[in-house]
Amino acid sequence: MEEKRVLIGMSGGVDSSVAALLLKEQGYEVIGTTLELFVGSSCCNTNTYLDAKNVCNSMGVPHFIYNYKEEFKNHVIDDFINCYANCKTPNPCIECNKYMKFGYMYEKAKELGCKYIATGHYAKTEYSKEYGRWVLKKSNAGKKDQSYVLWNIPKDLVEHVLFPLADFESKEQIREIARKNNLKVANKPDSEDICFIPDGDYKKFLEINSRLKPKKGNIVNTKGEILGKHTGLYNYTIGQRKGLGISNSVPLFVLGFNKEKNEVIVGEEKELYKKEFIVEDVNLILFDEITKPLKVNTKTRYSAKEYLSTIYPMEDNKIKVVFDEPQRAITPGQSAVFYIDDIVVRRRKNNIA
């Protein structure tokens, strides 16, 4: 395995393109790859492949396309559908990172004799003398930091992951590097939607690709009183206010679901706040195990802020999270991320909110 050989995931966008350029400038032997995951998605189409290949050609870097469509369906799309079928709100990017970028892509990297894999994510890996191990940390990109969606990197893989954009503070800095180096993707817009749902209509996607179909039921309050009708549980998420189609003296929000009775449960905003919840399938990065209560900052959505909390180990690889102050709209299916300062402790999907 070559010490300076790295396989980098190329999306055809400016971030991964500049990341590849920076690695080459740092003396790495760079190999580019684009994973074919879902035909017609925003990251898997002819333009994507051409942009990635053209960027690699301009740098004298080899580029390969590998077909993982079946694996993507099994691990990402099926999980996406299953979450909505069970009244959860998924984050498919997290599953994609786990199985595709830091799963299959790393296996491919080893086949190619690469010691490292890299992506254009805004995050950081480094060796911590304090903890005596390689750690995953926040980048310097502030609100654009993506450490939240990278929780599932196995701790023994962290030292083999490179994030060349870790120390940049803004996207404009990245675009400027691309312009100076005449990369044609310098001004290519970011993709904000779920990659396999480029039109953003996830409800239509679910109805076409699964057994989920519109099924009317009752919208009820916490007393069980019927306030209106819904069009299918998968059309709603915790914290939702708009689109309920009911009138009330005070605004009402989705609090949860009763799957057995096919009910959407609503209530006032103050009822959205909870102080504790449980997470399952824990993936520890900073520690081998947690044996006693630990004070951390917890983030429950990608766009959410972190808040002080205490985590408690439980049986069956679960953790109980207790916030210092109640937090709004903790949602099953999303991931809870624990930080000590800027270092990721662990995270996994919220189970019971």
State the catalytic residues. Answer: 96, 195
The angle subtended at Cα 279 by Cα 275 and Cα 280, nearest 5°, is 165
Pairwise CA distance, residues 156 & 133, whole Å: 9
How far apart CA 176 and CA 185 sit, in angstroms, is: 11
Neighbours of 51 (CB within 10 A): 23
Q: Are strands 133-138 and 123-128 parallel, antiparallel or unpaired?
A: antiparallel
Residue 95 burial by Cβ neighbours in a 10 Å radius (0-12, 13-18, 19+): buried
Q: Using CA atoms, how far apart are residues 120 and 168, in angstroms rounded to an integer?
A: 11
How are beta strands 273-279 and 226-230 bridged, if at all? unpaired
**For the chain, how big is the Rg over CA atoms in Å?**
22
Output 307-310 pairs: Cβ under 8 A, ≥24 positions apart.
309/338
